[in-house]
């Protein structure tokens, strides 16, 4: 599949992958985010800040690579991982004070991953 076709036909997968990688890289570079921002309190209690950032990067890269080499199992595993981690973040943002809008972003990313998984079946 040509790169142009992948971009056009797999736009949603590209967005999910690249956004997850960017999110992970940002959390990794600015490792104090999880410890500083109150909205991350629950996440900070559950996960190590470097480990969780690497999870986003790992599954985002796995999805991206799987997409370019058209490896169904790799894409499936990546989608399960991304759906799970984005869902966990969404629930934690809903539960952690103060009221915030970050859970909407996380829930949208989880829904995007679920939608891609449904379509790829």
Q: How far is CA 28 from the centre of its chain?
A: 14
Residue 49 is predicted with a pLDDT of 83
CB 63 within 8 A of CB 75: yes
Residue 25 is predicted with a pLDDT of 97
Q: What is the pLDDT along the chain (121 residues), one digit of tens a residue?
A: 577 877 788 899 999 999 999 999 999 999 888 888 888 888 888 888 899 999 999 999 999 999 989 899 999 999 999 999 999 999 999 998 888 899 999 999 999 999 998 887 5
Q: Is the pTM of this model over 0.85?
A: yes
**Any idea what DSSP says for residue 40?**
G
Tokens of 9: 């036909």
Q: How far is CA 11 from the centre of its chain?
A: 15
CA distance linking residue 22 with residue 43, whole number of Å: 18
């Amino acid at each position: 599949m040509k790169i142009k076709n992948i971009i056009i036909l797999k736009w949603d997968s590209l967005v999910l992958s690249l956004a997850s990688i960017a999110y992970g890289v940002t959390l990794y570079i600015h490792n104090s985010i999880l410890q500083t921002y109150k909205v991350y309190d629950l996440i900070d209690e559950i996960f190590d800040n470097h480990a969780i950032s690497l999870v986003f990067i790992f599954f985002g890269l796995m999805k991206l690579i799987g997409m370019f080499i058209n490896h169904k199992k790799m894409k499936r595993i990546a989608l399960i991982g991304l759906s799970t981690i984005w869902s966990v973040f969404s629930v934690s943002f809903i539960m952690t004070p103060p009221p915030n809008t970050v859970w909407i972003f996380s829930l949208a990313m989880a829904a995007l991953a679920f939608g891609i998984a449904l379509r790829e079946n």
